[in-house]
Structures are given as structure tokens and as C-alpha cells.
Structure 1
Amino acid sequence: MQWLVLGLIVFLGVHSVRIVADDWRTQTIDRWGLTAWKGVYSLLSLLGLVLIVVGYDLARQAPVVLWSPPLGMRHAASLLTLLAFVLLVAAYVPRNALKARLGHPMVLAVKLWAFAHLLSNGTLADLLLFGGFLVWAVFNYRSARRRNRAEVEGMDNEDAPAAADGGAPSASLTATVATVVVGLASWAVFAFWAHAALIGVRPFG
């Protein structure tokens, strides 16, 4: 369990710098240069991710059961995860309405993914892993929206709405439909095949 906890501290810690120390981050990038910052950031993120994967796998071999979720929670989790996949795709498809309306869809996707897995899993390792990501996503989203509002205050009224929604341009119906279709397809591949192949658990089996 200690490797899982250490991995969460490293991974979520690195990804929380902008939440708790945005000015320090800016100053460090100015001193080191953007390339060096990204290099250290990526290496620490990779280290944290490896520790999380190894730690969670070890914890699953001797699970500490805290509660037993009802079977119906699996169906709720599947629906929430489907929505999370659509939001994840929305973070990368330009000019889709989800990103324009919600702002920061990737962080929202992490929220749904983590909450879904808390509903359907009841071990201590699950609580640490998915609970940790859920708490991080909540604070990260609040921080990102706060930065958006600060940017709006420094803009003319004409530019303010776009900045308030994460700086996204006007939405395209084609891009929005493509986002939903790709998200649904990605979820289907992961739910019916990749989840079992990579994680060893069949969501629908």
C-alpha cells in the first residue's frame, strides 16, 4: 500500500503545483526554461504513475475490503465512465460545444471517472486511488476556473465570454458530433476489451 500512497503523492503533487503555487511555477519556468520544466515534470509524472500502477496491483493481491457496493453500482459506474470518455475526447477536439460550454473537460472527465469507480469498488486501495484523484480534480477545476475569471477581468467585454469558457472559440456542430461519436466508440473498446486486457477486470463480466 505504501507504494500506491507514494505514487499518488508524487503524481498528484506534480499536477497540483499550479493549484497551490502558480507564481512559484511561473518563476521556476522563467529560471529553468520551459523545456527543462516540462522534462522534470514529465519524469516525475511518469515515476508517480509507475508507482501507482505497481502499488495498486500489489494492494489488489491482498485487498482490505471496506464495503461491498451493490451490483447496480456497476451500471451507474459504466454510465458515468461513458460520459467521462466523451469529456476526455472533448478536451482534444477543437471547437466542440462541450469544451466551449463547460471549460476544462479533461478535469471533469477525471471527476466522473474517479467518482464512478468509488461507487463500484469498496477496498482501501480503491478509496485511496480514486478518492485521491477525485479530490485533486475538484480543486484543480476550481483553480482553473478562478484563473479564467482573472483573465476575463483583464480583457475587454467582447473577449470575456470566450475566456470564461476556457478560451474556446465558437462551437461547431460537426466537431461536437465527432466528439460524442469518438467518445462513445472509445468507451466501448475500453469497456468491452481493453479494461480486461490491461487491468484484468471485466466491467460487464
Structure 2
Amino acid sequence: MEWLNFGAALTAFFASHAVPALPWVKTRAQARLGRAGYGAVFGSISLIVLVWVIVAAGQAPYVEIWPHYPWMRWVANIVMPVALLLLVLAIAAPNPLSFGGRSTGFDPEQPGLAGAMRHPLLWALFLWSAAHLLVNGDLAHGILFAAFAIFCLIGMSMLDRRRRRDLGQAEWHRLAARTSNLPRPWRILPALSWARLCLWAALWAAILAAHPHLIGVSPLP
């Protein structure tokens, strides 16, 4: 029964992201709910399903794939702050080429964070998935985080195709000329600000404090 629940949750998670991405579904939903309403409903459903799939993975029978070693936690604690930094920098940053950013204020000649990576939120989620895949060597969590990581990588090319369709080839190429799907970390520096760095530090501290209570395991080495 636990495996069925996990399978249903994982299927619901990917369906909740694939179905709204269909042009005719998104267009009709935005027409009825408005862009803000659509974003709120989609975000709420995504969060609920994400919680469901994580809880279901924790309830699935434990089947070890690889053992856990202390060095794995050190790697995760190095990778996760990087993932959170990308998350904080990406939210509401000028970037009409990906989700999570805003379409206004973007300068193709100085693309900011998009110049370091076109889809920073997906890279943040990929790093989160990879770090958690490493430290969770059981079958359920292996399937979960490997699926998330693959979904993030595939999602980048899917988003590019969708933006090309929405913006048109010429406009997309004009906006994306100085961006890249492959990370160029040295270009992150222009996107840094004291406000976002403070938010990043607060978020990382909050996650470290809340993780044992919400997940039941301390993330520290």
C-alpha cells in the first residue's frame, strides 16, 4: 500500500506540472482565473503535491541501494547553500526566458543572473535534488530525487521551446544571445546584492533549524 501511495504521489507531482504546461490548458485557466489567480492556484497545488510525494517517500518500505557515509553530508552541506543562493537570486529577478523571474527590466546586453544560467531556479532545484539523492540511499528516495533531477534537466529545454513559441524565434534569440543553459558561475557576481545575501543567510539558517522538526533528521554533518 505504501508503494502504491508513493507511485500515486509521484505521478500526481509530474502530472501537476505537465498538464498546466499545455498551451490550451494554461490559456483557458488564465482566462478564468487571471494570471495572478492562475499562479496562486498552480503554486498551491504544486506545494500540496510536493509535500505529499515527500511524505509518501518517507513512508515507503526502506530498501537500501547504497550505504550512508559521513562525507556525503559534507557534500550536501556544501551544495545546498549554493542551491539556496541561486533560488534567492532568481526569484523576481529580470528574466523573461524562464519561470520565477519577471519580464520587465531585462537588458539582453547585461542579462545579470540569466547570463550565468538561463534557468537558475531549475539549476537550484537540480542541485537540491542531487544533494538529497546522495544522502538518501534507499530505493524510494533514490527514485524521488533522481526523477526530480532528470525533470529539472529536461525542463530547461522544454522551457526554451515554450519561450521560443511564445516570443517568436527572432525575439527569443535577441533576448537569449548572452545567456546559456550551461552554468557560467563567474557571471553570478553582478546579480549579488546585500539584501539578497542577507535573505539567503536567513533562509539557510531557518532551514537548518527547521529540518530536524519537519523532516526528522538533522542535515548537519
2-structure distance, mates of 1:93, 1:38: 14
The C-alpha deviation readout for 1:3-50, integer Å capped at 9, x for no partner, is 2221121122211236xx633334543775546755763564354234
Q: Which residue of 2 aligns with 1:6?
A: 8
CA distance in 1, matches of 2:80, 2:132: 8
Alpha-carbon deviations, 1:97-123, whole Å to 9, x = none?
Answer: 334431221111110000111111100
Q: CA deviation at 1:127?
A: 0.9
CA distance in 2, matches of 1:104, 1:201: 30
SS in 1 for 2:193: helix
1:166-181 matches, within 5 Å, as 176-178=192-194, 179-181=196-198
In structure 2, what residue type is equivalent to 1:25? V
Unmatched 5+ stretches in structure 1? none
TM-score, structure 2 as length reference: 0.71
CA-atom RMSD in angstroms: 3.4
Contact 2:57 2:140 in 1 (8 A): yes
Q: How does 1:20-169 map to 2 (within 5 A)?
A: 22-29=22-29, 32=32, 34=34, 41-42=42-43, 44-59=45-60, 62-94=61-93, 97-149=112-164, 151=167, 153-155=169-171, 159-161=174-176
* CA pair 184-38 structure 1, distance change in 2 beyond 3 A: closer
Structure-2 residue corresponding to 1:183? 200
For 1:198 and 1:104, locate their aligned partners in 2 and report how far apart those are by CA, in whole Å. Answer: 28
Which segments of 5 or more consecutive residues in structure 2 lack a partner in the other structure? 95-110, 182-186
TM-score (norm 1): 0.75
For these two proteins, the number of residue pairs brought into alignment is 195
**Distance in 1 of aligned mates of 2:67 and 2:189:** 42
Aligned-pair distance for 1:78? 1.3
